[in-house]
Amino acid sequence: MSDRESTRRFIAAYLYLPVESLPDDARLTEDLDLDSFEKLNLHMAVEEETGLEFEPDDAIATVGQVIEAVEAQM
């Protein structure tokens, strides 16, 4: 399994959603109904899970962009 898919599986588990419901273009706010606080919590959970640190970015709007942010730090 790729790191990309590991990150997607973690996001799915964190949000209690099936991994199939999280394509790269799934929008965090519009499709997954995350508010700004929930997006920040997701960001912190991903950092904790991966052991990476990256700045929260309001431009990160999709599942794919979260995964790309993680990949950029690896």
- Structural domain spans, the chain: 3-73
Measured between alpha carbons, how far is residue 49 from residues 2, 37, 42 in Å? 15, 18, 10
Fold classification of 3-73 is 1.10.1200
Q: Which residue has the higher pLDDT, 65 or 57?
A: 65
Average pLDDT for 21-44: 95
Q: Which residue has the higher pLDDT, 23 or 56?
A: 23
Q: What residues are paired with 27 via a beta bridge?
A: 62
- Mean pLDDT across the chain: 91
Is the overall model pTM greater than 0.85, yes or no?
yes
Q: Which residue has the higher pLDDT, 37 or 55?
A: 37
Q: For residue 1, what pLDDT is reported?
A: 39
Do the Cβ atoms of 70 and 50 come closer than 8 Å?
yes
Q: For residue 3, what pLDDT is reported?
A: 86
